[in-house]
Amino acid sequence: MRTRRGFCYPDVDAPRQIMNTEKRRCDPRNELDSATRKRHRTASSAGDKTDYFDSLPDDLGILILSKLSSSAERPSDILNVLSTCKRLYGLGLNSLVLSKASRKAFAVRAKSWSDSAHRFLKICAESGNVEASYTLGMIRFYCLQNRGSGASLMAKAAINSYAPALYSLAVIQFNGSGGSKSDKDLRAGVALCARAAFLGHVDALREFGHCLQDGYGVRQNIAEGRRFLVQANARELAAVISSSSSLSPSTLISWSPHGHHRRVTGTGSCPLLSDFGCNVPAPEAHPANRFLSEWFAERGGAPGAGLRMCSHEGCGRPETRKHEFRRCSVCGVVNYCSRACQALDWKLRHKVECVAVDRWNEDGDDDVADGVNDAMDES
């Protein structure tokens, strides 16, 4: 409004409008609203292609990745997710996701071993994954010859009642691996083996049964040992039936009164459970044992001069000192880290290959495995 001389009256509402404008600018809710409006305008201009991944809560993303890692069939299933984007990389390295990773997620091949694979297993082990702790422990103990660190990782998994770790520690105690012959602790080995057998580990059941039958580290009880051996065969058969939907009952059951004296030809089956007249495929080796076999196969098939490998194909354990493993008392050609490996290899392969020789113990090896007697006791 102007006066007669052309001057304007002051606007009394102008300061109030300025203050309201300043308040709107300082209000963080308005900033969010403007950002949201800007995002909507951008999305609408891009053809309404809204990126819902950005609005996905982190808790839900971690839950999804945990389900993925628990069902992973190979290490690449997890590594491909980690390399997708920065956000998935951060969520994938969450301790909850890594602690749920499956056994097959750590099936690292020996030829692909690297510092990054070592680091990944270490991160998973520190997240509380017992599979990673056991696998890395076996690799460090036998392949990298870091005995203390490898044994502590296996002990970490054993504390969480992981049966393969308990059994591996029992084998170490039986043989005194990583030390001298005087470092054997038979009672500790039997105690660890009994705990793993209680958890249903088939090799531990078989080992504990033979210990009871022979009175090795425990009071002899032939009947109780026989019961554990039969239980090991029954669990092995149940595991095969539940996991192999392609095998028909007629393929598994082929009863013969003298089934343990026959040899089954073919690539898909073997006279493994001759107690029940059943022919089932050989048990699948643990990824850690498969890694050990590949690691030493690439290095000439021997861990060192004068050292031998366990002759059971699914084991892969090497000697840590000379004459640590037991030899077959009949042929003296094969070596075994445990009675379980000896009995299983006898049924799978050595039963038809063992040939007696007059004298083979020329190198002064005192550890002799009663190959025929132990194996025939189970068969």
Annotate 239-303 with DSSP letters as a single string: HHHHH-TT--HHHHB---TTGGG----SSS-EEEETTTTEEEPPPPPPHHHHHHHHHHHTTTT-S
Backbone angles phi, psi at 167, to 5 degrees: -70, -40
Residue 372 has pLDDT above 80, yes or no: no
Query: What DSSP state is assigned to residue 140?
Result: I
Q: Tell me what pLDDT residue 303 has.
A: 81
| Paired sense of beta strands 270-273 and 278-280, if any | antiparallel
How far from 165 is each of 82, 150, 298, 379, CA to CA, in Å?
A: 28, 11, 25, 27
In contact, 101 and 124? CB cutoff 8 Å: yes
Strand partners, 2: 8
Tens digits of residue pLDDT in 233-272: 888 878 777 766 555 555 554 444 434 434 433 444 444 4
In this predicted model, what pLDDT tens digit does every residue of 139-192 receive, in sequence order?
A: 999 999 899 999 999 999 999 999 999 999 999 999 999 888 888 999 999 999
Identify the pLDDT of residue 301: 78
Residue 308 has pLDDT above 80, yes or no: yes
Do residues 320 and 348 make contact, with C-beta atoms less than 8 angstroms apart? Answer: no
DSSP β-ladder status, 270-273 and 326-328 = unpaired
The answer, as to whether pTM is greater than 0.85, is: no
What integer pLDDT is reported at residue 13 of this predicted model? 54
Average pLDDT over residues 17-34: 53
Residue 38 pLDDT: 52
